[in-house]
Amino acid sequence: MSDTTVKATAAASGASATERFLTDKTGKADKTGKTGAPAKDVDTVRVDTLATAVITAVHDVIRRHQVTYDEYNALKSWLIAVGQDGEWPLFLDVWVEHVVEEVAGESREGTKGTIEGPYYAPDAPALPSVATLPMRDGEAGTPLLFQGRVTGAEGAPLPGAVLEMWQADDDGLYAQFAPGIPEWNLRGRVVSDDDGRFAVTTIQPAPYQIPTDGSCGRLIAAAGWHAWRPAHLHLKVSAPGHQTLTTQLYFKDGAYIETDVASAVKPELVLDPQPAGTGGNEVTYDFVLAPAAL
């Protein structure tokens, strides 16, 4: 691991993830990091239904497990610390988002989706269909050629489809969420050619631990869990007239595939890279986008 790894604290990462969420998802972030309104207006009946269900579920847990006042106060203290550490995006994206995605995508045609996670950043540099993700000179890691094609559900190619890609580096760190990394390192928006094809040169990412020196790490330690995510590529794939696909692609036989802390791995999303003639590995993966909802 590099010195950058040591300096990438949970507090700094959490603060960056919180600020990014408030800016990108709600547009409401101010200098204090506060937001005055939810991302979208929701019917009060729906709010009543969901909030009541969540609170009732908490009540049921307390009764079923005979929660003590000491345990209640420990929870209360921990919840306050999650907010102070800026780790609500991390907590929700790791332990909750995969079920929201499962519900949202259960009837969608085409390639499987999975969680976005807390480290997405919009407006990455635009790249042609054959491209290399921005990276540092001598970027550590095994070179990877990631290629494939984007089609609609009926099989027709989707020229001009946009593949937003982002990934951790060989230290498991993301640009814009850890110090000392160029802003757009291993991030880009690749545009498919007239036949919907793309070929992207990058490096094969490494597994990484979610930040463990903050509140989420204290929960993991107290519960005896591990904090690791398997190596993965992040993608958002979009084309006019089609639903945007948010997904992650993993690597066959990779560490933590079966025990991902975020429960986001699906069999359909596991790649099987093969040695490339020029060194490194290569893999082909095609994306099928569902038509836009009417």
Which amino acids are annotated catalytic? 174, 208, 229, 232, 234
Beta-strand relationship, 130-132 and 197-203: parallel
- Work out the number of other CB atoms within 10 angstroms of the CB of residue 173: 24
Per-residue tokens: 125? 């540099």
Question: How many CA atoms, within 13 angstroms, populate the side-chain half-sphere of residue 237?
Answer: 31
CA atoms within 13 A on the CB side of 47: 6
- Assess contact for 158 and 105: CB atoms under 8 A: no
Q: Which two tokens stand for residue 92?
A: 């929700």
Q: Which residue, among 129, 281, 125, has the nearest Cα to 193 in the 3D structure?
A: 129
**52 SS3 class:** helix
Q: Torsion over CA of 167, 168, 169 and 175, rounded to 10 degrees?
A: 90
Task: Give the 3-state secondary structure of 214-269.
Answer: CHHHHHHHHHCCCCEECCEEEEEEECCCECCEEEEEEECCCCCCCCCCCCCCCHHH
